[in-house]
Structure 1
Amino acid sequence: MSGAATVRGLWGSTHPGPTLVVAALALALGLAAGLDPWRLGLLAVAVFAGQVSVGLSNDAIDAHRDAAVGRRDKPLVAGPVTPRLALAVAVGAVVVALALSAPLGVGMLGAHAVALASAWAYNAGLKNTPVSIVPFLVSFGLFPSLATLSAIPPAWAPAWQAAAGAALGAAVHLTNVLPDLDDDRATGVRGLPHRLGVRASAVLAASGVVAGALAVLLGSSGGQPAAVAPVAWVFFAGALAAAVATVGVVIARPPARTVFRLVMLAALLLAAQLVASSALA
């Protein structure tokens, strides 16, 4: 096996799409927080390394389940990378993520450590319990504070940002597993979405997005909707429309991949609303 094939396999096991999106979101929130360039760069790379560790550990721990259901799209099943190697690189990525967080302050280091520990706990077993959503609430709820705790002076993000982050995390969890529910059931995974079912999970995720969007709308304006910037209204309206469309599709016909795409769209619009409102607050 060539070194290039190993690198490609490892990268494919990091869940590249979500990893890059989360790193980009950290960068955007850092810009909104007015971080100096070196702090902004460290924040983005630290979060990227942390997400690499989360993705790799997830695939390494689940390799036997993925093999049992024939997930040939997974590099750890197809053969380029072994679970042991992926787990070793994941541990190394955690060390890098925390080492890069340390110069940004003890608050940022502590918050990032808790967020990563929460994500790893999900991968290690909480995904198979009725409280599988809790790590997403914790990690995403802390996420906006990674940027504000990297600033001088450091500060926790406002409650409305934390609420929006937690709502985003809930939506991601409740919908991200929907395409794999059957495979998960076949290998004994029984997290909250599996217990609720596709329809209830999709409706709850859409409701969470609406709650998060309202938190951003009211929180960023001090409870005065008239003070909300036009761009924030645009993102709020988009998230609300996507959430309502999700519920409509779920009620009208059997759930399909369209539901997954609609909720993911609503979640992305909520993330955009959070960034825009944080910059303007």
Structure 2
Amino acid sequence: MLVPTATVPPPAAAAATVFSLLLGWFAGVVLLLSVAGGWAYNLGLKAAAFSGAAYLFAFGALTVGVYVAAPSEPWWVPVVSALLGFGAHFANVLRDLRADAATSVRGLPHRLGPRTGVIAMAAALATASVVSGLAPAGAAVLYSASVVTTGVVLAAATTTAAVRAPHSAIAFRLTVVIALLDVVLLVSA
């Protein structure tokens, strides 16, 4: 979930600025752009059809900022992070669809609805699993096959659960498992 930075007190915003810039001016600017993605979401993008773009951008920029500060991160890490962010956007919003309807928030998950929203979330997280399994140079074949298979099978189970019962907690829980798998893979890589 993106932090609602529009309500963050000035000391927290100042601390984010200082700590980001301590990593170097370029890395700091990229990290602050990630924060700006959170602000953009909270200041109105959450009600737009392209609301997921803020998550894609903020999560991707976060890892790019880390890479710029210490260039050892492979190219696929920001891709996986952005996909995880996009999946997190849906996971964060899908639970609140009814409450958001009362406040006229109509972001991408709202427009897609609970069934298609869960499917989009599962697809983003499965894609993150596929990239995590296939992109690392020198990864063992068994590792790659198990990561890709697990992510895709869980995404298929999530999609099946969403189609059968769009408001069921089962689909949401399965996507949390995929997200945890992807985060563990990202951190371990």
Tell me if both proteins adopt one fold, taking TM over 0.5 as the criterion: yes
Which blocks of at least 5 consecutive residues in structure 1 are unaligned? 1-17, 19-50, 58-86
- 1:88/1:115 CA distance change after superposition, 3 Å: closer
User: Taking structure 2 as the reference length, what is the TM-score of the superposition?
Assistant: 0.88
- 1:193/1:88 CA distance change after superposition, 3 Å: closer
Matching residue of 2:36? 117
Matching residue of 1:146? 65
Provide the secondary structure at the position in 1 that maps to 2:96: helix
- Answer whether contact 1:121 1:135 (CA < 8 A) is retained: yes
Cα deviation, residue 232, structure 1: 6.0
Matching residue of 2:165? 253
Cα deviation, residue 209, structure 1: 1.2
Cα deviation, residue 150, structure 1: 2.5
Matched residue type, 1:190: R
User: CA RMSD of the aligned region, Å?
Assistant: 2.2
How many angstroms apart in 2 are the aligned matches of 1:145 and 1:275? 15
The answer to whether the aligner puts 1:243 opposite 2:158 as a matched pair is no
How many angstroms apart in 1 are the aligned matches of 2:129 and 2:44? 30
- Answer whether contact 1:111 1:146 (CA < 8 A) is retained: yes
- Answer whether contact 1:171 1:208 (CA < 8 A) is retained: yes
Matching residue of 1:198? 114
How many angstroms apart in 2 are the aligned matches of 1:232 and 1:276? 13
Matching residue of 1:161? 77
The answer to whether the aligner puts 1:263 opposite 2:136 as a matched pair is no
How many angstroms apart in 2 are the aligned matches of 1:156 and 1:121? 29
Matching residue of 1:100? 19
- 1:56/1:111 CA distance change after superposition, 3 Å: closer
How many angstroms apart in 1 are the aligned matches of 2:175 and 2:133? 19
Cα deviation, residue 160, structure 1: 1.3
Cα deviation, residue 92, structure 1: 2.2
How many residues get paired? 189
- 1:92/1:238 CA distance change after superposition, 3 Å: farther
- 1:98/1:232 CA distance change after superposition, 3 Å: farther
Provide the secondary structure at the position in 1 that maps to 2:20: helix
Q: Deviations over 1:45-76 (max 9, x none)?
A: xxxxxx7xx2463xxxxxxxxxxxxxxxxxxx
How many angstroms apart in 2 are the aligned matches of 1:237 and 1:143? 27
Aligned match for 2:98, one of 177, 182, 186: 182
Provide the secondary structure at the position in 2 that maps to 1:270: helix
Q: Could you say which structure has the larger radius of gyration?
A: 1
